[in-house]
Amino acid sequence: MSNLKGKVETEIEINAGVEKYYNIWKQAHHIPNIAGDHIQGVDCHEGDWHTHGGVKSWKYTVDGTSGVFKEKVEFDDANKAVILNGFEGDVFNEYKVFKPVYHVVPNPKGRGSIAKLSIEYEKLNEGVPPPDKYVKLMVNISKDLDVHFGKA
């Protein structure tokens, strides 16, 4: 059973500062306009955009396939982390637990930031692959946000 649970993670350097990258997640309704190839829509169902505990549903495309993901957000202001606690949507055809985390820290090289992207998961069965394609989606969204911030 223990090999059904796991965590996939990666890091990317971004030019945006910590606050700018972190705060866009509190204005998630802008993300489809910035990363439209990957996120086609986001709706707030409970709470609001910028408060811990808000419930949102995301329409996304990964590997050419459209999907929906519903989550309850946690904002960790002290650590600049956004935790999307998934509870409904297409990923749950393969996963029992699905929790993407966007965590941003200052770049030790001095310029920009490091986006630490991860997904904690539990597969429904042994035949399900780790959610690498979803981490790639997170990387692509982060890169699109970074390009947008460079234009702003």
Check residue 100 and give its pLDDT.
Answer: 99
pLDDT of residue 2: 59
Q: Would you state the pLDDT for residue 146? A: 95
- Tell me, what's the pLDDT at 152? 61
All structural domains of the chain with their residue ranges: 2-151
Q: For the whole model, what pTM was predicted? A: 0.95
- Tokens at residue 51, please? 């408060």
| pLDDT for res 150 | 85
Which CATH code for domain 2-151? 3.30.530.20
Ranges of the chain whose pLDDT falls below 70: 1-2, 152
pLDDT on residue 20: 95
Sign of CA dihedral 34, 52, 116, 6: negative
Rounded Cα–Cα distance for residues 139 and 43 (Å): 21
Task: Quote the CA–CA distance of 50 and 27 in Å, as a whole number.
Answer: 6
Residue with tokens 């030019």: 15
